[in-house]
A and B are shown apart, each in its own frame.
Chain A
Amino acid sequence: MKRNVALGCVLVLTTAAVAGCGGGESASTSGGKTKIRFASWDVAEDVDRQQAIVDRFNETHEDIEVTLEAYGSDFDTKISAGMGSGDTPDVMYMWNYPSYYGGLEPLDSYIEQEGADYKENFYDTLWNYNAMDGQIYGIPVGFTTHTLFYNKDIFAEAGLEEPTDDWTWEDLKEAAKVISEKTNAKGFAFSMKPDPYDFEMYLWSNGAAYCDGEGNMAGSINSDAAKEVFQMFQDMEKEGCAVATEKSGTDEFRAQTVAMYIYGSWSINSLNEDGLNYGVTKIPSFGGQPSVSILSSSGVAMSKDSKNKEAAWEFIKFWTSEECNKERIGLELPVLNSVVESEGIMDQPEYAPFYEMLEQSDGYTPASFIIENWSEVSEDLSLAFEQAFNPSTLMDVNEVLEGCVQ
């Protein structure tokens, strides 16, 4: 008997690792109203704000009822499980199009019906990030580019001029050296395990990329221009003017132990709460061409299995409208030209650089959209980059990058 109980335990516990499938059909219309399920990845107060906007939609639309499903950090798990079992929400937030576009509805025909002005009001760079193989699968909702954050107090303490938007990496390195010598802080911080998706922007800025248009990495990621980029970061770390951080570097920047780091707009709210005296400017260039930033964009997409596509599109249009863009300011950077203009966002020094980076980053396609099994390739790249930047290894850049193409 005891044996059976223990075997039962083994069974039960093991299944926990296996489970995660199932699902079923739920009634999509009831009481004359079309029901739309809308999945969001946000949490806490952000969800409350989203719920308020959803409620307003429901009040003004008699025939449609939208339910907000907040998946939080389980978003990817639930969306993939949903797609696996044919139980995907009708409308969902989306950023990782290469992984999910198979389960999404192409939206080009819907956009066409709205007329040319509709599409043009969005920042053009964004469409590239909401499309796959030339087809649009999502309507942009928010985005962030990356910019250089710097601590004004530390720059003053070191007696240095603050960074400007025409800085090159040489300028940054010089300043970082002075700061590391004259103050208790380090000059610059970057992640020792950068997300390969984000890191490609430095390669673009130096005229390189992870792969060519067909997804071949050989000849691209191990090109001289690419090696130069990695070498520069590694040298800064070796020389002690930069520190490679365990996470993004935000913790160190908030603790004022580093003077500069490059990051998206995600940290602005917490930096403001801290009352930190910081500035934001464009990413330094490598000299030749203007610097390029990666985009982290969010859009809303429609499930291809949705039974009420008309209603779903109606809601998507509402969610991406001027009105909603305005309402989400503080939550997301607005993506419509008209809203950025009417709200005077370009006059706010902590937000303007994100739009300047957006405008000069048009025309680049991340490797994640080109390389087929990106999530696995990304894992290998991530490991390789860490070998170059982890202070306990600091492997030779040449060796690391040649290893990536074997």
Chain B
Amino acid sequence: MNRKKFFRTATPYFFILPWVIGFLVFTIGPLIFSLIMSFFDWPLTADPKFIGLGNYIEMFTEDDQFRKSLVISLKYAAIFVPLNMIIALFLAMLITQPVRGVKVYRTIFYIPAVISGVAVSIIWGWILNSDYGILNYLLSLLGIEGPRWLVDPAWALMAVILASAFGVGTMMLIFYTDIKNISIDIYEAASLDGASVSKQFFSITLPMITPTILFNLITSIISSFQQVTLVMLLTGGGPLNSTYFYGLYTYNNAFKHHKMGYASANAWVMFIIILLLTALVFRSSSAWVFYETEAKNSGAKKKRKGGKEA
């Protein structure tokens, strides 16, 4: 009897056991390990040595590159995140339009998101080359002399942002499915009331998809801080360290300079920054994110209340 009861309650846990094991071994394990190592000086080829908060102190007081890389990553996130979301939303709106061959466009917009980051970096390296790149060639047709994208430190960050925006497809798809989910009745009612197309977008579409916007905002903030592949392969952090992102800085400390403990500390600082930013976004979300279910429930409550009073 007891055993039967045990199995009944335990069965669901058995189903999720593979995931739990994976999570413990490959996520929580390394996470805790890296937290511990962040208090050590660990040159990889020799044994770790405990140095307390030494790594953190060095980072904030002695290492100029730490601050510089952090600023570069913040700058990147500040430009990339909104830009990426606007482009994704715009494309999503385009592919929800009832035009012929929309499936073709949908595929075209999404394909870049399927290509591996390495290939994207190499392709953009060619596109952006100042001597034989196609981008500057196209600009020259318009009579514009294109900047030396990957050579001029003033333009390199823009070049990286441009190349990252190439992978906008996934976010577009998430917006797309959510927009498709909005009941057509609402739009019909609105157009009967004489609402213009732009009015419909700002008063119906946008509020209805705010939960998705929240999701995309958070995931893209996180991924923009972790951008490594692109800068490693496209610019190598250059020119003149203008694209030496925080992720690359951490990676180099770990695997180029073999300062595993220091890099762990770098990663934890990044973790805390991301955590704070995410918490901030969540805090603000109650002010601008609109959940349909919540609205219905609160509406229902009001009605009941009203009914009692009457």
Contact = CB atoms under 8 A, between A and B. Distances in A.
Interface string B203-228: 00000000000010011001100101
A80 B255 contact: yes
Contact of A9 (B218, B240, B255): B218
Contacts of A6: 215, 218, 278, 282
Given A22-B30, A84-B260, A10 B45 contact: no
Nearest to A392: B152
B282 A3 contact: yes
A246 B256 CA distance: 22
Contacts of B274: 10, 14
Chain A facing B: main interface SS: helix
Contacts of B239: 192-193, 386, 390, 392
B247 interface: yes
B223 A12 contact: no
A11 B27 contact: yes
A373 interface: yes
Number of chain B interface residues as a range: 35 or more
B170 interface: no
A20 B275 CA distance: 21
B106 interface: no
A21 B46 contact: no
Interface stretch (B54-62, B135-143, B188-196, B263-271): B263-271
B27 A373 contact: no
A106 B227 CA distance: 40
Nearest to A383: B241
A246 B132 CA distance: 12
A16 interface: yes
Nearest to A247: B125
Interface in A7-31: 7, 9-22
Contacts of A99: 45, 258
A14 B271 contact: yes
Interface string A76-112: 1100110110000000000000011111000000000
Nearest to A255: B132
Contacts of B26: 15, 19
Interface string A377-404: 0010001001100111100000000000
Contacts of B93: none
A390 B151 contact: yes
A383 B65 CA distance: 12
Contacts of A83: 44-45
Contacts of A379: 252, 256
A3 B267 CA distance: 22
A394 to B, nearest CB: 12
Number of chain A interface residues as a range: 35 or more
B226 A76 contact: no
Contact of B257 (A18, A84, A257, A376): A376
Given A9-B222, A255-B132, A383-B241, A375 B258 contact: yes
Nearest to A13: B222
A65 interface: no
A19 B37 CA distance: 12
A17 B153 contact: no
Contacts of B260: 21, 84
Given A18-B267, A19-B26, A80-B258, A246 B44 contact: no
Given A17-B247, A373-B257, A392 B131 contact: no
B222 A102 contact: no
A252 interface: yes
B69 interface: no
A193 B270 CA distance: 29
Contacts of A103: 45
B247 A257 contact: no
A15 B31 contact: yes
A192 B252 CA distance: 21
Given A6-B282, A17-B250, A246-B129, A391 B45 contact: no
B237 to A, nearest CB: 9
Contacts of B218: 6, 9-10
A76 B254 CA distance: 11
A330 to B, nearest CB: 25
A70 B241 CA distance: 31
Interface string A28-64: 0000000000000000000000000000000000000
B84 interface: no
Interface in A240-285: 246, 252, 255, 257
Interface string B241-255: 100000100111011
Given A11-B31, A19-B26, A20-B30, 17 more contacts: A6-B215, A9-B219, A10-B274, A18-B267, A18-B271, A20-B254, A21-B33, A21-B260, A76-B255, A80-B44, A84-B260, A99-B258, A192-B151, A375-B256, A376-B257, A391-B148, A392-B148
Closest 3 CB pairs of A and B: A102-B45, A18-B34, A18-B267
7 contacts: A10-B274, A14-B274, A18-B30, A21-B37, A22-B30, A379-B252, A390-B240
